[in-house]
Amino acid sequence: MRRRLIGGFFLFTLAVVLLLEVPLGFSLSHNARTIALSELQNDSASLGVLVGASLGRGEMAVAMKIIARFARAENAIVVVVSNGKLEMSAGAGAAEEMAEPPTRAILRSAEAGRESGEEGSRDPDDDLLYAALPVAPASPATPGAATHPAVGAFTTVLLVAEPAAPLHRHIASEWIRLAIFGAVILAVATAAGTMFARSLTRHLGGIEAAVAAFGAGSLSERAPVNRGPSELRALADTINEMAERLEELLHAQRAFVADASHQLRTPMTALRLRLENLEDTLDSTQRTELAPAIAEADRLSRVVDGLLALARTDGTRPTREEIDVSAALRERADAWSALAEERHVTLSCKAMAAAGSVSALRALACAGHIEQVLDNLLANALDATPAGGSVQLGASRIGGQVEIHVIDSGPGMTSSDRTRAFDRFWRPEGAHHEGSGLGLAIVAQLVRVSGGTAWLDVSESGGVDAIVRLEAC
């Protein structure tokens, strides 16, 4: 956000600077060109008066000295043409300039009045500023003075041309000054915008950190309310009110589930004990009818335990740590091997890393979660596997992740059943075992809290392949 604020402030300032300085630059360039041409016109008019007076008296040598002195002083080209013929010239390049068609066209136009402007060329440094005007020879000052035969009866034109390079350099320097001034304005505006953006985003950063901590499970975290502008303080107040309300709701929900589970556990245990004590006083037929009641009491106890486990994990974000997946798999396989033998099911364990090193199988997970996940998955696998079948427990590293597999050789599940298996209290139709319907829901919750994913797939034997994927270390 800070970059967008600074970028927007910079672009806005840049647009303002361009809108102000570009027209100003063109205006300064136009004024400089107008002033230069006006000065050249005034100089040429003054020179024309002197030259015209000299020509009127027939003093060609004096007129030549005048234009030569002016050409040296002003670094200019001065040409006097009468009826299209060159009468006199001064300045470097005068003859070459007379050979140019644009120059001849200017002289013809000047016979009817003054002409001025800039004559362009392929090289901007060779451009010329020119002023041309007709010069009428003056009458002789004394009676009997001779009039020069070449100019007395014809229209005479004076052309004064100066290099345009100084004007171009002056205009360029004006643009450079404007560019420097604009750059300074942009730098100052960017610095001010950066300070403003930092002051704004610093307060937003505090609110963002508080919201992130609250989302990570720190329900007591609150946004700072005494910093920043009034709008941000109002936002912080609103977030804190929402956080307090959510904290109350979550605490109420957890307290209700925990209290309900605790209150149910005691009477359920007492009910089962009474049923077991009653079993000794019944005959075989009555005992057969009592067995389902004891089984239902056991199932209700498992449901209560599952609800209590979910209540402890809902809304929490415990810290993840490095877990030895290989050791956890071997430990849980040893713990469940006795029940597998009792049910005549082969339980095997294989944990291989990408490079073949068992010790390299390490993943990030919350402490104790991997063991609970494996217990639930192994319990489901052993319940689904008939006698003579097998359950395979394994793990492998794939790229930057560790995959744990619990594979059974049972009857398997349909695609829709595998999708719904992680729903709470869901059990497949026709299940031959009495489960609580919370085992896989607990697995999904524990894996999600540990930053991983869990799903069910079809094994090669047609059974279920329960997969857990965690971030590798």
How many CB atoms are located within 10 Å of the residue 406 CB? 27
The one-letter amino acid code at 247 reads: E
Residues of the chain with pLDDT under 50: 138-154, 354-358
Q: What is the pLDDT of residue 317?
A: 60
Is CATH 1.20.120 the classification given to domain 248-312?
no
Residue among 452, 444, 442, 453 at smallest CA distance from 310: 442
Is CATH 3.30.565.10 the classification given to domain 318-471?
yes
Q: What is the pLDDT of residue 354?
A: 46
Q: Where are the domains of the chain?
A: 2-171, 248-312, 318-471
CA geometry: angle 97, 101, 103, nearest 5 deg? 50
Q: What is the pLDDT of residue 429?
A: 66
Residues with Cβ within 8 Å of 57's Cβ and at least 6 positions away in sequence, in order, are 138, 140, 141, 145
Long-range Cβ contact pairs of 365-368 (< 8 A, separation 24 or more): 365/320, 365/321, 365/323, 365/450, 365/451, 365/452, 365/470, 366/318, 366/319, 366/320, 366/321, 366/446, 366/449, 366/450, 367/318, 367/321, 367/323
Q: What is the pLDDT of residue 408?
A: 92
Distance CA 100, CA 50 (A): 27
Q: Choose the CATH number for 2-171 among 3.20.20.70, 3.30.450.20, 3.40.50.300, 3.20.20.100.
A: 3.30.450.20
Fold: same for 248-312 and 318-471: no
